[in-house]
Every structure is written in C-alpha cells, then in structure tokens.
A and B are shown apart, each in its own frame.
Chain A
Amino acid sequence: MNYDQRIEHLREEKLRQTNEKLKKLGTRDEDDYGCVLPPDDFHWEPPVTRDDGSFFGAYAWGKNFRSLMENHPVYIDSCDALAGRWMFMLSRMRPGYRLELAPFPPEFDYSHLRNEQGKYDITCGIGKDAHFAPDYEIGLRLGWGGLLEKVRDCKSKLGDQDGLELLTAEEDAILGIQNWITRSAEHAGNMAAREPDPILRQNLLDMHEVNARLVEYPPQTFREACQWIAWFNMASRTHNRDGAGGQLDELLRPYYEKDINRGLIDDEDATFYLACLLLNDPHYYQIGGTGSNGEDVTSKLSFLILEAAKRLKVSCNLTISVHDGLDENLFRFGLQCLLEEKMGFPRFSGEKSLVKGFVRSGFSRDLARKRIAVGCNWMSLPGREYTLNDVIKINIAKVFEVAFEEMIGDVEDEPASLERLAELFSSHLGKAVLCTAKGIDFHLDRQFRNEPELLLNLLCYGPIEKARDASNGGLEYYNMCIDGAGLATVADSFAAIEQRVVREGRLDFSELADNLHKDFEGIEGRRIRQMLGGSEKFGQGDSLGDKWAGWLTDNFAETVKSANTPGGRRLMPGWFSWADTVRFGKSVGATPDGREANTPISHGANPNPGFRKDQALTAMCKAVAAVQPGYGSTAPWQLELDIGACDIADAADKIGGLIKTHLELGGTLININVVNAEQILQAHENPDLYPDLIVRVTGFTAYFSNLSKEFRQLVVDRIITR
C-alpha cells in the first residue's frame, strides 16, 4: 500500500467511526473529536469516588486517571504511522456533567452568585477546565521519563500538603500514560508478527520501536515527535477534553530538518506522518506567524502541514497567522486549500491587531508575538498564560432585556427614552461583569480542589516547579477572558428604537413593549416586527446599527477592562458566542430588532443575516473589523462563502483580498466556511445524504450530519438569509 492508499483507508475508517459514534451517542454540537468508541464489552469505573459517584481534587483525579490509562484499550491501525486513539473524557464521566455547567464540589457553594448569573444569563466558567495552551516544547525536550523525573525532583523538595498531593497526582498521570504507551508498543509488535503485507509489517515494527522508546525517552526523530504530540493530545483529551495545540511548524521543524539532512525521511514521509497526526485529533494548530524578532517563521513544514491536511480531507483546525512579512506563497496555498477542499481550513488570524491589543493590555511586544491562535476564538501564550477563553460569556441580549424591562416598569418615575435605556443597559452590564468577575475569583480560588490540570500542568512553566495547579497561581499570567454574545441583536435593537421610536415616531415605547411581550402577535404585530427589522442595521456601513455596535463595543470593552476582579485578576474582553447562540436565545424574549422570542441571538461579532440587501461581504468584513474590543482577545468573523464565489477565475484574488483587508482593518480572526447552499439545505433535510459534509460551525469544524437539528438550522440560517 502506498501513502495515498493508506490515507484513503484511514479516512474511510474515520468516517465509519464517526457514523458509529453518531448512532451510539446521538448528535453532538461540538468539535469532531478524534475519539473512537471503546469495545462493546469494555467496562471501567473510577476507583476513587465519593458516595454520589463523583470525584474531586488532585488525589482522586490522579488515581482515577491513572486507572483509566492503565485500562484504556489499545488501538493500532496497521496503515497509520502513529499508534493510539482515545476513547473517554474523564471530566465528563462525573455525574451531572453539562457542557455549559461543569460539576463543582458541593462544599464550595456559589449560590450567592446564581441569582445574577441567571438574571444576565452568564456562562460563569466555574469548574471549567483546559482552555489555555501548553508548550509542547517542554514535553518534546523531556519525554515522559524526563517529565516524571522533574515531578519527582520537585516533589522531594516540597513539604506543602496541597503541593504534594498535586505532584503525586502528576506522577500517577505520567505512570498511567507510560503504561498505555507500553501496552500499545507491545500490541504493535504483536500485530507485526501477524501482518502479511511487508510494508505494513515494517510500519508496525517501526511503530513498536518508536513507542517502546517514547515510554521513557524524548523523541529523536520526526515520526517520534509526531507520535509524542499525539500521545500528549490523546492523554489530555482523555483527562479533560483539552484541545489546544501549538505552533506546529516551529515545534516540529528541528526534527524535520535533522531527519531530512540525515536522509532518514523525505517530504512524502513527512507529509504522511503529519496527515496521521492531524487525523489522530483535530487539535488547534497555528502555522506561519512571526518569531521573537518579528521575522516570518514560515518554513517548508508550514506547507507540508497544509498539504497533509489537504490530502487527508477531514476536519482540521489549522490557522495561518497573517502578518505583513508572511510568505505570500503560504497565504496563497492556504487560500487554495480553503477554496478547493471546502472543509473550512485553514483559518486566518491577524497578528498586527492581536499584538497591538495585547500590548494595549500592558504586555511587551515580544510577549505578544508569542501568543498564538489555538482555539475556537482564542489566543494564548503557550505554557505561560491561564485564560479560560471561550467558556465565560455574558449574554448581552439578556442584559438589554433586563434594562428595557426596568425602564418600562419604571415609567411612572422616569419617562422612557433612548438615553435612559442606554444608561440602564450600561449599569446592568457593569453588574453582569462584576458578577462574572466574582465567579472567576471563585473558580480560581477553588478549581484545584475540583479538577487540577494534570496534563496541561506538565507542559507549562511553573505548575510543577511551584507545585501549584495552573488554575491556582502556577502560571505567570492570568488574563481572564469574558466574551460578550449578542452584539448585533442588541446593536440593531438600539438602532430600531432610535429610528422607529425616536426619529420617526412610528410607535412609542409602550407600544413597542406591548408588541415585544406579545411576541409580535397578529397582523399588526407582524407589520411592526418587519418595520423594526427593516431599520438601519449593524453592518450596513455608517448606519445607526453601526453606530450602536461601536458604542456597545467601547462600552463592553471598557467595562470589562477597567475592572480587575475583586480578587485582583486581570480581565480581557472579546465578542464571541461560540455556537451558544441557540441556548442564549432561549432565555431572551422578543427584541426590538424584530427577533422573535426564544430564537437564536446573533452570532459572535457578525451582523445579523440579511443586514444588507446585497449581502455584501465587504460590508460585513468592515463591520466586524470595526467592533474589535482590541485588548488581545478576538472577535472572530464567521464568514460563509457560497461555492459560486469560489468557482470563478480569480477567486483566490477576491477571497484573498477580502481576508487581507479584514486583517488590515483591525480584524483578528476569520473562520471561513465554503458552502454549497443547495447541498447544505438538502443535508439539513436529510443528513444521511451527506455523511462526510464538513462545516465550520464557529471556531470548530464538525460533520454536518453529526449536529443536532437546531445547530444545523443555525448554519443554514447564516447561509440562507431570512
């Protein structure tokens, strides 16, 4: 079998496994993770639990994780260059787990915050894990044996009880992983003995050798480095779903160059190993970007990584960091992959604005350059910064609703007006941010007793040395991200009020409130809904909607930025809804922008669908660039490109121009979907028709057929304008 045939086999196998997961687990509105189902007869229970079956704290996590690793089924595909697949998420095996609300030890009570969290529909992030980036360089340098030694060395120097407990758990984690790798290496060896195909037999023998070494030693070759990263990823996924990656081209470059120079591998081999790594798990990797002196770090490997993804044709979360000196060929090749493969990769991040923002947050330019794009919407300093990106959100449509209702309820004392509404909104936003900040303190003070970051700690600077969890002061920097969701919904609501109520006097506040409460009932209600919906929207360019979106951005960014948490932690604002627009929408009644009750709120920093008659993407591009909070967090542009736009002579010029202009104008990150509207509609009606259709839902990609109906609708709505 040649490499292409092996890739084809691996892709088909993955598709089969994905369908199996769909059948067994139902639809899931998340990343398409690289996990596979365990064998039917597999049974495991955590050995250390409380009476209710749950477990908390370093000791329990260490023991349970080690046990899970020691029992984890081995998985080897003779076509794959890399061993292993992961099958479980320990963090989700605790009773009561919900995607939006993590378990927390009941003895730590935050019911005093719950009232306001509910009132403003805050996703508080308490108990949330991962969502910051490790530095793989540490692991690649030390290997599992070196990491174990480091942990034991630090442990011997410490007397502190919590520290000892953490480092013991770290030890357990590593021992568990080594056990898993040892068994996998043996299994590869056994399979080799039975494999009739000489090429695959050699592959299994190599796999055996590579993994037998990696149990203890740091990787020496390119293949070993890929395998090491894959083991860390799989273990980290199994621990708590972590999915951040790193600057992949730079991490692997030394191994690649060494092997190439020694004639051990050629580019075909390297591309195949990369394809296997990308298939193993869709972690978020950045390529391109700048080095510490601002120089472009694009290398041959950057191209090979894209090439591998291109050949693989499964969902990949690769981001090209675009800066002024970026190799134009890499940018062009990225565009080519995007337009030809139509699988939502790569994404493009804008170094200029991200660095500028982080510097504005008080950090040096050097440090800012080291931050990389490693999540749906987020940036992180690998191994040095704890951020909880993407898990702390305020539904500002809900904040708006609270303000509006208070104004309407108070008319006896103070007449309703746009100014009063804006004032009330600001004051409630302040309260929502404060409540969120208190939640962040609560989390940071106690999370290590809930769920320590056993895996990420290993690849960070500090947690092992200081014997303190990453969530508990182990790292250097704490930039706690708060994202606002519902920007366009609120901007358009303010704009509709200014235009229809204040300027044109077509209806007054009480009529408006009445219609909102009745969810635009009846013919007259529908007319009013359309009148409101037809007012000047965010994204049109110089419209009232644009004005309010600007006001909201300044207001939100300053409110978040001007206050540290009561415990003194730094906050960082962003606009991002993830795919939570559905959930957020359910808590908000009808809004003055003509949105009906309980329907999804607007997506991220995007204008509402139908914001302009011509739907001009240039207008959308400028609009999103203009609402960047500007402190180093992103407000990604979710860009849906119809296939028609990509099937023309100079599509790369056109789409490339769009991307470059967005990043030039201050944009930070672009998540792009190339879609065939007709196909998406058909797949929405009958998902089975297109089992391998991949869409970028927000920051992440997923098989369309794996999404729930509601989520598919979300994608459809963005593509097919109301």
Chain B
Amino acid sequence: MGSGLIASIQRFSLHDGPGIRTTVFFKGCQLKCPWCHNPETIARKAELIFYPQKCIGCGACLEVCPAGAHKLSPDGQHEIDRDLCTGCFKCCDECFSGALQIVGQSRSVQDVLREVMQDELFYSNSHGGVTLSGGEPLLQAEFAAELLKECRSLGLRTAIESNLALPWSVIEKVLPFTDLFMVDIKHFDAKKHRDLTGVDNRLVLENIQKLDDSPVELIVRTTLVAGLTDSPGNIRQTAEFLKELKSLKYYELLTYHPLGLDKCIALGKIEASEKFSAPDSQEIQRLLGIASLAARPVFLDGKGIAENELRSEN
C-alpha cells in the first residue's frame, strides 16, 4: 500500500461534515487562494514552520543545523535563513518549545487508519465519520482512494473536501468510496476565479454537475471575503446554479477568518500574509437572503439558517 503526504490529522473535528469526525489534512494544493486558512497545506512537500513567540532562545537548533540556517541575536531575536535550509528537520527534533515544527509527513494508509479508527465508536454514536481535507486531497487521489476504501470496508461514513478543479477521471477514483463531497465555489465568474485562485472554474462547475448525477451527497460552500467574493451578484449566480442540483444538502456561506495569517508568517511567506477581511454582519445577512432565494437550505458557518431569520431580498 502506498503512502501519502499528510499535514495533520484532527480528531473530534466539528466543522468538516456531520457528526463527530476525524479530518485528515492532505498536503499540497493546486489553487492559490490568497485568503487560504490552511496555508501550511499548500506546498506539496514537507515544510518548516516557526512560531517565534514560542521560542525560548535555548539555541539547540543552532547546534544541530548542518546548514547554519538559524541565527540568534544577543537580544534574543531568532531568525531563519530559509534559503540556506535544506529541509533535514533536525532542528525540529531538538526544539521542545514547539517553536520549530515540521508540517508534512509521509504516512501509510494503515498508519492513518490506525489513528482514524481510534474514534470508531464516536462515529457510530453521532452519525459521524472520516473526512479527507487539505490542501487538495485529490492531488493524491490513489492514496485517498485506498484510504477511503479501507474506511468504507470498516463501516465508516466518508467525506471529501475538495476544490474539484481536477479532471473527472481523478474524481472517479474516489467516487465509489465517498458518501459526501464538500465543495467550494470560490467565485462564479470564470475570470475572477482564475484571477483569485490561478485556475479556471469551468472544471469545478462541470464536476459538480457530474457529482450531482452520482450517488453522493453534496455540500457547496463559498468563503465570504470582503471585496473579493462577497458581491451579491456572485452569491446570486452561485445559488442559481445550485438550484438545479438534486443532491445538494445545503449551500453554506463561510465567514472569512484570519486564521491563516499567523501560519503564513510562520511559514516565512510574509508576502502572502496580505490582510483580508470578512463582510460585516449586515452584509452577511443580506447575502444569506440572496442565497436563499435560489438555493435551500442555506447555512452560515456550520449552522442552518431558519426561514424566519432570513431577510428577503429582491
């Protein structure tokens, strides 16, 4: 059995599908959404992450680094010259403060499964299961398929969070073993989508339609980033598109959260840590109203919005 590059595994994850779930975060993504809240899952290789606020200045990393990439100034300032770093990760083994960490480990199906199965009883007691997320799990489709197949054979419910910007043939690999697809439509406008993420959305929309003809459930989501994805037109068009779907469980709007910022800085991607914001709550209410005109039901950040909470919008 193969192995996959895994960023992390989160047990008792509450926001990645129904019930109690374990989410396996895959490493590597082909899109470049600038507001990504999991920036540590974008690169397709293991990375060094550094949280300066945790560093106690013990100097252990300096001693072990063969490349001399760490510098500790007398005033306790710690810097890493990432150009020198060869990615041996010896420093991470010696850093007990948690300041230096490695993201991305090669793990076998069995290894991941062992961790996933720790919570088996919880899944059955809460209608939960396992979710593959990332990153883009389908960039490692063989591994994902193998893992899902094993999960299924052990009686677990399965879900994938994907951007679907991949050929249908790739999706087909996991389709037989997946119960639920959670998919993002980052922007409905093809050009804007390309500007924002670096890829076209045609494939995404096509694949959603194909999934709608497959025996799976669908949740579609849009992250609301002020000035980028929160135009009423965008939400209206997306909702209109979803209106026709048979297997849509709900359309979910997600409020942008600056969770990814610190991680960008910790990854040394200062340039990526551009500041974004979420639309204000009034605007969000308005967008929910627009979305609900076409697609139903509508969710906001994991919670269903009741009919009477929706503002009508013409």
A527 contacts across to B, CB distance below 8 A: 56, 58, 60, 96-97
CB contact under 8 A between A618 and B20, given known A654-B128, A665-B121: yes
| Alpha-carbon gap, A645 to B20, bound state (A) | 11
The yes or no answer to B57 lying at the interface (CB within 8 A) is yes
Q: Nearest-CB distance from A664 to chain B (Å)?
A: 7
**Chain A CB within 8 A of B302 CB:** yes
Q: For the side of the interface on A, what is the size category? A: 20 to 34
When distances are taken between beta carbons in the complex, the residues of chain A under 8 Å from B56 are 523, 526-527, 530
CA distance A60 to B94 in the complex (A): 67
In the complex with contacts A524-B58, A653-B126, A616-B12 CB distance below 8 A: yes
Judge whether A650 is part of the interface by a CB distance below 8 angstroms: yes
> Which residue, B8, B57, B118, has most C-beta atoms of chain A within 10 A?
B118
Interface string of A469-507 (1 = CB under 8 A from B): 000000000000000000000000000000000000000
Taking the complex as formed, is B143 at the interface, i.e. its CB lies under 8 A from any CB of chain A? no
Contacts of A530 in B (CB 8 A): 56, 96-98
**Are B12 and A619 closer than 8 Å at their CB atoms?**
yes
Partner of B12, one of A523, A533, A617, A665: A617
**Interchain CA distance A664-B122 in the complex, whole Å:** 10
Do the beta carbons of B128 and A657 come within 8 Å of each other?
yes
Residue of A nearest to B121 (CB): A661
User: A658 — which chain B residues lie within 8 A by C-beta?
Assistant: 12, 20, 122, 126
Query: Are A622 and B96 in touch, CB under 8 angstroms?
Result: no
Cross-interface CB contact of A618 among B8, B96, B119, B303, cutoff 8 Å? B119
A sample of 28 cross-chain residue pairs with beta-carbon separation below 8 angstroms, ordered by A number, consists of A526-B56, A527-B56, A527-B58, A530-B56, A530-B96, A541-B118, A614-B12, A616-B11, A616-B119, A617-B12, A618-B11, A618-B119, A618-B122, A619-B11, A621-B122, A622-B118, A648-B303, A650-B19, A650-B126, A653-B127, A654-B14, A654-B128, A656-B126, A657-B20, A657-B125, A658-B20, A658-B126, A664-B125
Query: Which single member of B96, B121, B302 contacts A664 (CB below 8 Å)?
Result: B121
A531 interface residue per 8 A CB criterion: yes
Give A632-660 interface residues, CB cut-off 8 Å to B: 644-645, 647-650, 653-654, 656-658, 660
Docked pose: A426 CA to B202 CA in angstroms: 68
A534, CB-defined interface residue at 8 Å: yes
Chain B: minimal CB distance from A690 (Å) = 23
Residue of B nearest to A532 (CB): B96
Interface residues of B (CB under 8 A from A): 8-12, 14-15, 18-20, 56-58, 60, 96-98, 118-119, 121-122, 125-128, 299, 302-304
CA of A618 to CA of B10, assembled, Å: 11
The reply to whether A614 and B10 form a contact with Cβ atoms under 8 Å apart is yes
Residues of B with C-beta under 8 A to A649: 299, 302-304
Residues on A lying within 8 angstroms of B by beta carbon are 523-524, 526-527, 530-531, 533-534, 541, 613-619, 621-622, 644-645, 647-650, 653-654, 656-658, 660-661, 664-665
User: Which secondary structure characterizes the binding site on chain A?
Assistant: helix
CB-CB under 8 A from B8, the residues of chain A are 613-614
Question: Does the CB pair A653–B19 fall under 8 Å?
Answer: yes
Q: How far is the CA of A541 from the CA of B120 in the complex (A)?
A: 13
Chain A residues closer than 8 Å to B96, beta-carbon distance: 527, 530-531, 533-534
Which 5 A/B pairs are nearest by Cβ-Cβ distance? A657-B126, A616-B11, A530-B96, A648-B302, A657-B125
Chain A residues with CB under 8 Å of B20's CB are 618, 654, 657-658
A524–B60 CA distance with the chains assembled, in angstroms: 10
Residues of A within 8 A of B126 (CB): 650, 653-654, 656-658
Contacts of A664 in B (CB 8 A): 121, 125
A541 to B11, CA, bound (A): 12
Residue numbers in A under 8 Å from B121 (CB-CB):
661, 664-665
CB distance from B46 to the nearest CB of A (A): 17
Q: Complex Cα distance A661/B119, Å?
A: 10
B125: contacting residue among A615, A616, A661, CB under 8 A: A661
A614 and B11 contacting across the interface, CB-CB below 8 Å = yes
Given contacts A527-B96, A648-B302, A653-B18, contact A660 B125 (CB under 8 A): yes
- Chain A residues lying within 8 Å of B128, measured Cβ to Cβ, are 653-654, 657
**Given that A523-B56, A523-B57 are contacting pairs, would A648 and B15 also be in contact in the complex, using a CB cutoff of 8 Å?**
yes
